[in-house]
A and B are shown apart, each in its own frame.
Chain A
């Protein structure tokens, strides 16, 4: 039925009995395609899913094999025109997968909400939820097209460098729930600390002698154990990642589904920013057509003598007219709103109020909205960016709400440690769509979702947790999996130069300061960035880090046997 919107021939056919049966086939076919898309897109995102048996793999062309790679997972959220446009505007660079989103944007200009109707996995679920809701006689209500506003606001934010609400993208939400469903992130574990004096006194004298190769003098240490324990947790809080519960990733998708059940059609029709953007694109096309019509008229006046052109103009007039009269059911059908419903029900979201329809008739109204939303988005994004720097006194309470909410008491934590290739911290939390691709792509499972420790703005954004494992020198999977440009693709050959952070040594904690012969950080460094050098002043062998070689992979931190760790990767 999508073809009916543009071709007058199909429109005529639709009136006939033949057309009716054909339409039914189209509906059935569309469902088949949508469910197929849902299954395939989910399978691509699901880590460890093999789309074909291993025995077949050598026979399958290599480019198809990449469907099981992080690049393929990246492709799924990158299907969103909104994400592609935002990344383009915010980073001023054309990423590898931007083209896919832009191409789909072009399709959205030719076919209204084509993506929603044929591909969107979230759309399938919300439509089913909406139908279930309608069966339970739940009603929706009228709302202005919020999705368009969200889309514009965020695009304007992207221009300033902080695409604000990008995480609301339906594909990001869809990719999000797969993280908690497919993998189990290891939560933070407190390491075992030296025994307290009370514990020591209960042990026999011999047993209280800890392994002298690892533990310093326990007789002295035990007396201080209680104090150091307190100091330890305070000091460690500075750099220990306290990850958010991974189930938060599923909350967005779940909320959309619940919303679609309670208020059928509201999300897809009015709230979804990707849908809103597609509508905007459609309207842009309409404006272009209207402009074309005007130009055509001008052209016709000049070349009135040529009958062929007149005929063309006639045709174009007819097309526009046809669309105006017939687009209502088409768009309504696209949204799954106006179709297959009992008469009388769902009357509050009648097709007349659909955004496409409204604005196609009054292009200037749309223009005002564009300006307003754009300005609002720019102001909002600019404000948040500005707040992340040094806000004036007046705005500090606001700043505490935005970037400080949920922060732990005590000294303000430094920047979080981001995965390799991360965009500048000032726009990272905006660019990151919280799809969880990088978390799922990481074979070492060291990328974890951040809690609100670095402010609400960074909630669920990826942070590196260098405790169980380090960022391997032979891996760039997370950077390849990022669809939004928050993580720029990193070539393996460039990995040594892509800086995640810089290792810092606290010689007061280092075993070498107690003349214990531990060189494990130097041994484990994949980039030979650590030297150990005897200092005639302190009379100990000191650990020196070559900042030109260290890329902050954390191999040293993971290997360090002391606690609190003597060598810690800190953000740049």
Chain B
């Protein structure tokens, strides 16, 4: 029996020189073959980039229904054209912020066919998109909560979620998480079964004489029409009633940009000195270590695109540079800028001139209205409840349109109360119910039986004051 070439009974583990050389030679040849470029790489080895499956929907397509404006004598003229009708509905709510979402859900629950149009890809408006996370204005002097109904339902749903809301106690102002708000609103809108168009900007209003028949939306699908019996303007800026020719007040207000900063739980208490403490560290949010930082900003016109552009850029520069200063403070090195709000914090622009007006005098006197459709709260429990009359939602001349949210008819001294999130819930809720009632009764919103609206609002758990 031949022994293996590496075995040697006399010398233990030893190799003959020839065997050793053979071994080295075979190994070297193998290694050389493996490394040596053996030729071109075949295309089939790479596959398609990304690996997604994309399909061609149409080839050599030309945009249909074009009617491009042309320059005539130096002026840009838009030719007449027919718009495709995207959708027909009873109640059309434009704007998916706190007021719009409440209006749409309320109208749906009141039995109407409702459509909601929103310009961004999420609901909640400035509440979520503007990162105005602190909910102020649902309580009045004495701690009573006047914001009930659908707004309170949203808050309760947030309360059930984990990490969606903090400081939700009686008499306290809670802070929410923006993503939780977006989620809860999607959930509620789905449950209600609303028709929704996101990423749709309301570009114009369809009018017959003095009556609004629907709106024109502009989206990636182009310019399309949505016909509706009643339109609720919850755009905040009053885009719809302004386009319809209703009278409004044009106001300026502070325009800021809110941001969120993180790692505040990792501030080193040993290095951080009590003063000078970095400024603008904001207030806590449901996310641990994350604060939301408000900004007041300069008082400007929120309808001017030049202003909005300038402020957006200026604010972003400030926020980043300020955060660098914070990070340069001893102990605060780990704090970072998490995000800036997708939406610029425009506080007030257009305000409707309605049949009635929310006035400071009425707040001071505690006036009661027979056509009350909601009760507003104060910003920090500083004063008593104030009733909102139905007339504040109704334009003086234009028909088939109702305002909701911060753009309802209100004195300038009341602007900072009307624009608060809970008060937007309240006016949105009322506008939705009133629109549904107008559709069902086949009448104009201004002719609506307010008693019926009040009855439905109470059924939907809205608070309209103690006495009735």
User: Which residue on chain A has the smallest CB distance to residue B173?
Assistant: A213
Picked from A217, A228, A536, the residue with its CB within 8 Å of the CB of B291 is A217
A512 at the interface (CB under 8 A from B): yes
A340 at the interface (CB under 8 A from B): no
Min CB distance, A9 to chain B, in Å? 73
Min CB distance, B157 to chain A, in Å? 19
Task: Report B277-309 residues with CB < 8 Å from chain A CB.
Answer: 277, 279-284, 291, 293-299
A107 at the interface (CB under 8 A from B): no
Stretch in B180-188, B213-221, B267-275 with 4+ CB within 8 Å of A:
B267-275
A contact residues around B172 at 8 Å (CB) = 211
Choose among B280, B283, B318, B416 the residue with the greatest number of A CB atoms under 10 Å from its CB: B283
- A212/B318 in contact, CB under 8 A: no
A contact residues around B327 at 8 Å (CB) = none
User: Which residue on chain B has the smallest CB distance to residue A214?
Assistant: B380
A212 to B174, CA, bound (A): 8
- A212/B277 in contact, CB under 8 A: no
B264 at the interface (CB under 8 A from A): yes
- B298/A536 in contact, CB under 8 A: yes
A contact residues around B175 at 8 Å (CB) = 212
B166 at the interface (CB under 8 A from A): yes
Choose among A216, A512, A513, A515 the residue with the greatest number of B CB atoms under 10 Å from its CB: A515
What is the number of residues of chain A that contact chain B, defined by CB distance less than 8 Å?
28
A contact residues around B272 at 8 Å (CB) = 220, 223-224
Choose among B166, B291, B295, B296 the residue with the greatest number of A CB atoms under 10 Å from its CB: B296
A368 to B256, CA, bound (A): 79
B contact residues around A213 at 8 Å (CB) = 134, 136, 173, 283, 379-380
A433 to B433, CA, bound (A): 70
- A219/B264 in contact, CB under 8 A: yes
A contact residues around B134 at 8 Å (CB) = 212-213
Per-position binary interface string of chain A over residues 457-474, scored 1 when its CB falls under 8 Å from any chain B CB and 0 otherwise: 000000000000000000
Choose among B173, B274, B277 the residue with the greatest number of A CB atoms under 10 Å from its CB: B274
B254 at the interface (CB under 8 A from A): yes
A514 to B167, CA, bound (A): 20
Task: Report B420-463 residues with CB < 8 Å from chain A CB.
Answer: none
Task: Report A495-548 residues with CB < 8 Å from chain B CB.
Answer: 512-517, 534, 536, 539-541
- B264/A534 in contact, CB under 8 A: no
A contact residues around B109 at 8 Å (CB) = none
Picked from A216, A218, A228, A515, the residue with its CB within 8 Å of the CB of B295 is A515
B265 at the interface (CB under 8 A from A): yes
A209 at the interface (CB under 8 A from B): yes
- B296/A534 in contact, CB under 8 A: yes
Decide: A534 near B284, CB < 8 A? Known: A206-B166, A212-B173, A213-B136.
Answer: no
A202 at the interface (CB under 8 A from B): no
Task: Report A183-238 residues with CB < 8 Å from chain B CB.
Answer: 206, 209, 211-220, 223-224, 227-228, 231
Picked from A212, A228, A539, A540, the residue with its CB within 8 Å of the CB of B284 is A212
B contact residues around A227 at 8 Å (CB) = 274
User: Which residue on chain B has the smallest CB distance to residue A207?
Assistant: B169
A contact residues around B293 at 8 Å (CB) = 515
B88 at the interface (CB under 8 A from A): no
Per-position binary interface string of chain A over residues 388-432, scored 1 when its CB falls under 8 Å from any chain B CB and 0 otherwise: 000000000000000000000000000000000000000000000
A88 to B58, CA, bound (A): 103
B322 at the interface (CB under 8 A from A): yes
Min CB distance, A490 to chain B, in Å? 29
User: Which residue on chain B has the smallest CB distance to residue A227?
Assistant: B274
A500 to B292, CA, bound (A): 41
Min CB distance, A70 to chain B, in Å? 30
Picked from A219, A223, A224, A517, the residue with its CB within 8 Å of the CB of B294 is A517
Count of A-B contacts with CB under 8 A?
86
A contact residues around B296 at 8 Å (CB) = 512, 515, 517, 534, 540-541
A212 to B416, CA, bound (A): 18
What is the number of residues of chain B that contact chain A, defined by CB distance less than 8 Å?
37
Picked from B256, B280, B380, the residue with its CB within 8 Å of the CB of A514 is B280
- A220/B281 in contact, CB under 8 A: yes
- A515/B294 in contact, CB under 8 A: yes
- B167/A211 in contact, CB under 8 A: yes
A219 to B314, CA, bound (A): 30
Min CB distance, A167 to chain B, in Å? 44
Interface SS of B by simple majority: loop
Picked from A219, A515, A536, the residue with its CB within 8 Å of the CB of B280 is A515
A206 to B286, CA, bound (A): 10
B contact residues around A541 at 8 Å (CB) = 254, 296
B contact residues around A512 at 8 Å (CB) = 296
User: Which residue on chain A has the smallest CB distance to residue B300?
Assistant: A534
Task: Report B140-192 residues with CB < 8 Å from chain A CB.
Answer: 166-167, 172-173, 175
B contact residues around A514 at 8 Å (CB) = 279-282, 294
Min CB distance, B364 to chain A, in Å? 13
Min CB distance, B310 to chain A, in Å? 11
Per-position binary interface string of chain A over residues 60-102, scored 1 when its CB falls under 8 Å from any chain B CB and 0 otherwise: 0000000000000000000000000000000000000000000
Min CB distance, A232 to chain B, in Å? 11
A211 to B277, CA, bound (A): 20
Choose among A215, A220, A512 the residue with the greatest number of B CB atoms under 10 Å from its CB: A220
A231 to B277, CA, bound (A): 14
A317 to B373, CA, bound (A): 97
Picked from A231, A513, A515, the residue with its CB within 8 Å of the CB of B256 is A515
A534 to B279, CA, bound (A): 16
B contact residues around A539 at 8 Å (CB) = 295, 318, 322
- A223/B269 in contact, CB under 8 A: yes
B contact residues around A540 at 8 Å (CB) = 279-280, 296
Min CB distance, A515 to chain B, in Å? 4
User: Which residue on chain B has the smallest CB distance to residue A535?
Assistant: B298
User: Which residue on chain B has the smallest CB distance to residue A225?
Assistant: B274
Picked from A217, A223, A228, the residue with its CB within 8 Å of the CB of B282 is A217
Picked from B279, B283, B314, the residue with its CB within 8 Å of the CB of A513 is B279
Choose among A206, A214, A536, A541 the residue with the greatest number of B CB atoms under 10 Å from its CB: A541
Min CB distance, B277 to chain A, in Å? 7
Min CB distance, B198 to chain A, in Å? 30
A513 to B280, CA, bound (A): 7
B contact residues around A215 at 8 Å (CB) = 283
Task: Report B47-77 residues with CB < 8 Å from chain A CB.
Answer: none
User: Which residue on chain B has the smallest CB distance to residue A516?
Assistant: B294
- A224/B283 in contact, CB under 8 A: no
A216 to B416, CA, bound (A): 21
A78 to B291, CA, bound (A): 63
B contact residues around A220 at 8 Å (CB) = 264, 267, 272, 277, 281
Decide: A209 near B167, CB < 8 A? Known: A224-B274, A534-B298, A536-B298.
Answer: yes
- B284/A219 in contact, CB under 8 A: yes
User: Which residue on chain A has the smallest CB distance to residue B258?
Assistant: A515
A contact residues around B284 at 8 Å (CB) = 209, 212, 217-219
The 13 listed contacts between A and B (C-beta, < 8 Å) are A206-B166, A209-B166, A213-B136, A213-B283, A216-B281, A217-B282, A217-B283, A219-B264, A219-B267, A223-B269, A512-B296, A514-B294, A540-B296
Q: A213-B380, A540-B280 are in contact. List 11 more A-B contacts (CB 8 A).
A: A211-B167, A212-B166, A220-B264, A223-B272, A224-B272, A231-B275, A515-B280, A515-B293, A517-B296, A517-B379, A534-B298
Top 5 closest pairs, chain A to chain B, by CB: A224-B274, A515-B294, A212-B283, A534-B298, A227-B274
